[in-house]
Amino acid sequence: MSDDAINLADKLARFSEHWSPRVVAEMNDYQFKLVKLQGEFVWHAHEHTDEVFMVVRGSMQIGFRDRDVTLQEGEMYVIPRGVEHITRAEHECHALIIEPRGVVNTGDAGGDLTARNDVWV
C-alpha cells in the first residue's frame, strides 16, 4: 500500500496515446483506468460487466443505438452490461474508467483499437 495520493493530472501527463487505457489503481478485482479519447471509437458491448466513465477533463459522448449521453467534466455514467455503445470526443477528453480487471476495451468487437490490458502508469 502506497502512502502517496494518486494525482490524475500527473498520470495523464505520462502518456499521449488515444484509446489506450492506463491503470492507476486497483480495488478488489476492479481497475481504475485513465484514458484519452478523441474522435470516434468502435461499436461494442461488454457482455459480463457494467462499465463506468467519469470525465476528468473535456467532454465526451456515449452513443447508444437509440440516443446519446453527453458527459461534461465531473460527470459520470454507468453503461449496463451487454448494452452496445460507442464513445466519441470531438476534442481530446480525459476520462477515468472503472471496470473489472481483464476487460478488453473493444469488448466483443475486437479490431485495431484493442489495447493491451494491465498497462500501468
Give one DSSP letter per residue of 25-36, joined into a string: EEETTEEEEEEE
Per-residue pLDDT at 3: 79
- Would residue 1 count as lying in a domain? no
* Domain membership of residue 24 as a residue range: 8-100
Residues 43-56 have a mean pLDDT of 97
Answer yes or no: is pLDDT of 83 > 90: yes
Mean pLDDT computed over 35-51: 97
- Grid coordinates representing 40 are 470516434
pLDDT at 1: 62
DSSP state of 4: S
Amino acid at 106: T
**84 located within any domain:** yes
- List the CATH number of the domain containing 87: 2.60.120.10
Rg (CA), the chain: 14
